[in-house]
A and B are shown apart, each in its own frame.
Chain A
């Protein structure tokens, strides 16, 4: 929990990962998965600070359930991640 008043001046913008017609409307699992992979591929090429990569990071965070991300991060650390990164 934040201290009282700390977030008073913070600007909350209603922004989130945009609609992507390549993915099935009713199942977004691959949407989330693709953003996660795109982020890590991007980091490999351009480095973590790149704004393009940061965009992918925001998007996969807004799409993927936290538990999935923890799971995948752990798999990448152990070298058992099934994706192409």
Chain B
């Protein structure tokens, strides 16, 4: 039976297995997480994560095909996608608001168990003006290079754009490596009271977001090399760039609050 295709500015999506697959995978991750945290092994968690990654891969592969091969992403659709990305970034910032809230709740008026001081008695903090400062410079620099590639993309200079993007990705990876080294060297753990909890919650969530940003930008680079991006149509790359700026700003707040103000 021939499917009737109506011409429309909007994208009439096809039947897709991914929403259902993702939901099942996420439920697996959730239940597996509980199982794992109660020390009952991580089999469900591993299965959940694998199926989640597979669903993510499949879903976004389909989205790219719809955009590049089927031409479903008209101007109107692109506008919707951009709005969606911005709202997504808004929800992400609210996540960090809650993390900062917890941090400031504990640090502005430290409880008596901490000795009434912040950082708490007995905590040897990470020195702000060493590796964290280097990380700040790396991220600020990556903010410049990502703008370099953004502007080159808009003006259609493919080579410049790929150069800037590549440097950004490398800077992001170096940032993650330094952050990992800092965790490895630090003298407190996530179990060392509210300082450890809020420190690793804040910087750890940020690190995860850097990782996501690196993946998004890498996809942008791969797709550019494969010739899927034009100066007019590059929503995926632009989403990654916006996300990267967001992650950058969050780091500045983290650096000022946790490392600098909270480390003296």
A61 and B121 alpha carbons, distance in the complex (Å):
24
B49 in contact (CB, < 8 A): no
Q: Report the minimal beta-carbon distance from B129 to chain A, rounded to whole angstroms.
A: 26
B115 in contact (CB, < 8 A): yes
Interface string of A27-40 (1 = CB under 8 A from B): 00110110000000
Q: Report the minimal beta-carbon distance from A34 to chain B, rounded to whole angstroms.
A: 8
Q: Which of B105-143 contact A (CB under 8 A)?
A: 111-117, 120-122
Within 8 Å CB of B112, what residues of A? 29-30, 32-33, 82-83
A84 in contact (CB, < 8 A): yes
Within 8 Å CB of A32, what residues of B? 112
Q: Report the minimal beta-carbon distance from B209 to chain A, rounded to whole angstroms.
A: 33
Contact of B122 among A30, A33, A82, A84 (CB under 8 A): A82
A83 close to B111 (CB less than 8 A)? no
Task: Specify the chain A residue showing the minimal Cβ separation from B120.
Answer: A82
A32 and B112 alpha carbons, distance in the complex (Å):
10
A84 and B117 alpha carbons, distance in the complex (Å):
10
A2 and B112 alpha carbons, distance in the complex (Å):
36
Q: Which of A31-85 contact B (CB under 8 A)?
A: 32-33, 82-84
Within 8 Å CB of A33, what residues of B? 112, 116
How many A residues are at the interface, by size bracket? under 10
Within 8 Å CB of A84, what residues of B? 115
A33 and B110 alpha carbons, distance in the complex (Å):
12
Within 8 Å CB of A83, what residues of B? 112, 115-116, 121
Within 8 Å CB of B117, what residues of A? 82
Within 8 Å CB of A29, what residues of B? 111-112
A82 and B121 alpha carbons, distance in the complex (Å):
6
Interface-centre pick from A30, A82, A83, A84 (highest chain B CB count, 10 A) = A82
A33 and B114 alpha carbons, distance in the complex (Å):
12
A29 and B114 alpha carbons, distance in the complex (Å):
12
Within 8 Å CB of B120, what residues of A? 82
Q: Report the minimal beta-carbon distance from B107 to chain A, rounded to whole angstroms.
A: 15
A84 and B112 alpha carbons, distance in the complex (Å):
11
A82 and B114 alpha carbons, distance in the complex (Å):
6
Q: Report the minimal beta-carbon distance from B19 to chain A, rounded to whole angstroms.
A: 47
Q: Which of B62-121 contact A (CB under 8 A)?
A: 111-117, 120-121
A residues within 8 Å of B by Cβ?
A: 29-30, 32-33, 82-84
Q: Beyond the given A82-B116, A83-B116, could you list 12 further A-B residue pairs with CB under 8 A, ordered by the A residue number?
A: A29-B112, A30-B112, A30-B116, A33-B112, A33-B116, A82-B120, A82-B121, A82-B122, A83-B112, A83-B115, A83-B121, A84-B115
The 6 A-B residue pairs whose C-beta atoms are closest, nearest first, are A82-B115, A82-B121, A33-B112, A83-B115, A29-B112, A82-B114
B residues within 8 Å of A by Cβ?
A: 111-117, 120-122
Complex A-B: 6 CB contacts under 8 Å: A82-B112, A82-B115, A82-B117, A82-B120, A83-B115, A83-B121
